[in-house]
Amino acid sequence: MDLNLTPNLPDPDGFYDELLAAHEGLDKAESDALNARLILILSNHIGDRAVLRQALKAARDSLQR
């Protein structure tokens, strides 16, 4: 399986709003912890190390643009 980088959310703006709402009232450390937990939960859901490796590379590469 390959990493899907094509837009795939039916309502990306709605999800973004939910993501921001989940961070409301949190300090920086709590917000970072929420992000880390979310990454681990979604990584567990994906469950494919090759896909996760591709995602890590894509995220890292996007910082260098």
**What pLDDT is stored for residue 34 in this prediction?**
98
pLDDT at 65 over 90: no
Q: pTM for this structure?
A: 0.87
Q: What are 21-37's pLDDT values in tens digits?
A: 999 999 999 999 999 99
Q: Strand, helix or coil at 13?
A: helix
Q: Strand, helix or coil at 11?
A: coil
**What pLDDT is stored for residue 1 in this prediction?**
87
Cα atoms found within 13 Å of the Cα of residue 48, Cβ hemisphere only: 9
